Structure 1
Amino acid sequence: MQAAIGRTATSGWIIVSQAMIDAFADATGDRQFIHIDPVRAAATPFGTTVAHGFLTLSLLPRLMEDMPDAPRLTGATMYVNYGGNRVRFLAPVPSGARIRAHARLLAVEQKRPGQYRSTSEITIEIDGQAKPAMVAEWITQIFA
């Protein structure tokens, strides 16, 4: 993985559907109208319902799993979310929008035998929009 530092991998597109947004609202209890009420949300500057920022963040594992060109540690048995630095939600994700992730590997370090920590710069792109939905520095523990 050290040789892949600086390289960017890109996921496929996924659609953030209203059903996905509604399920997230149910799971978290965040039922603010901009997420679940299309009529009221249409009257806001967004013009439609939008995904929760934390829904966008929670899609990272799914998006990162869909990166065939992402560097992987040979012999890894599991990847565990460790946390994030400088997570920012820059643009709302409208219901029905397509998003994808770009991940640039910044660092990999061995913490102890069989345990590594990787740090990646993640950008979540919204199809057809110049401004990204989210940028973050994401940290993952890797166990081999």
Structure 2
Amino acid sequence: MKVVYSLRSDLEKDPARVLETQALTLNDARPMLGLKGSRGLFGSAEWWSNVESGVIDVAYVTGVIKELYVAGQERLDHPNEFELTLDDGGVRSEGILVDDPGLISEYVPGRRVRIKYAYDELKCPLPDGRPQYLDFVLEIAIEE
């Protein structure tokens, strides 16, 4: 499988995203917005270490690309979403993410895809008090 997207690479290209996310985590005036930060500030060395060691939960989703489409109201000349038929028979939609625009062509119906997610806790719990998590796409790999 060929890795077409890596969050680590994406964040290296956009350090402002990391700083903005971390600032919201650290903003006590917004107690219900942002990540909790109890396992490291998003994108920090501690955060990545906790992703790699399993302190931050990681999960994989695998399946076959069913179709590509344009989601939202933007007028795009290429698809920005894809539908995935999961190995368990379920269906999931995900945004088309790439490290390089030339890699969009790797998204082809019928190809297998593997998506790696990390789940980081949000400041705002669920209504019943249980923790709520945000999933981050860490990596997308597509069959060559």
TMscore range, shorter length: 0.3 to 0.5
Q: Which has the higher strand share?
A: 1
TM-score by length of 2: 0.36
TM-score by length of 1: 0.36
